[in-house]
């Protein structure tokens, strides 16, 4: 019966791992961690952000490029300052309308090539406009 103990230990390990995963999932939902946006020279990640109308959108914007960039969502009056390479800023707002809205990094008010994405705002009821 020497094999019994390792199998039991494995069972306990799997059980506790499942518990940790369950706790982490619950924690993620409860705390609504900020959305990470990364600015690169010529691109923004992610290309699409899905959020809910009436719920606070919390975004951490990091400039991972070598040039100065910013992050704007004009429809929701989000305009960060110019971010130096490596600089991070946190913005939050509450979308008051549903639909698809553009976000981008601009230079003199004009979106830079490739540096844009789409924010999709859905109603809390789950219907898309």
Residue 112 interacting with Cu ion (CB under 5 A): yes
Whether the Cβ atoms of residue 81 and residue 99 lie closer than 8 Å to each other: no
The Cα 48–Cα 35 span in angstroms is 11
Q: Helix count (H) and strand count (E) of the chain? A: 1, 9
CB-count exposure of residue 59 (10 Å: 0-12, 13-18, 19+): buried
38 or 53: whose CB is closer to Cu ion? 38
Under the criterion CB under 5 A, does residue 83 sit at the interface with Cu ion?
Answer: no
Among 57, 76, 105, 121, binds Cu ion (CB under 5 A): 105
Q: Are strands 35-40 and 43-45 parallel, antiparallel or unpaired?
A: antiparallel
- Residue from 69, 78, 80, 121 binding Cu ion (CB under 5 A): 69
Q: Closer to Cu ion by CB, 16 or 81: give it.
A: 81
How many residues in the shown chain lie near Cu ion by CB under 5 A? 4
Structure tokens at 124: 């809390």
Of 80 and 98, CB closest to Cu ion: 80
Contact 32, 60 (CB under 8 A): no
Interface with Cu ion includes 59 (CB under 5 A)? Answer: no
What's the token pair of residue 29?
A: 């939902």
Window of 49-57, 76-84, 89-97, 112-120 that interacts with Cu ion by CB under 5 A: 112-120
Nearest to Cu ion of 98, 104 (CB atom): 104
Distance of closest approach, residue 112 Cβ to Cu ion, in angstroms = 4
- Residues near Cu ion, by CB under 5 A: 69, 105, 112, 115
């Amino acid at each position: 019966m020497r094999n019994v103990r390792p199998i039991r230990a494995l069972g306990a390990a799997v059980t506790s791992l499942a518990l940790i995963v369950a706790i982490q999932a619950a924690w993620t939902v409860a705390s609504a961690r900020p959305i990470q946006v990364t600015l690169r020279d010529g691109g923004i990640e992610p290309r699409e952000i899905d959020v809910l109308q009436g719920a606070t959108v919390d975004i951490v914007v990091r400039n991972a490029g070598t040039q100065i960039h910013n992050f704007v969502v004009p429809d929701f009056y989000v305009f960060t300052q110019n971010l130096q390479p490596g600089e991070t800023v946190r913005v939050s707002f509450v979308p008051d309308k549903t639909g698809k809205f553009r976000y981008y990094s601009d230079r003199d008010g004009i979106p830079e090539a490739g540096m844009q994405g789409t924010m999709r705002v859905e109603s809390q009821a789950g219907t898309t406009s």
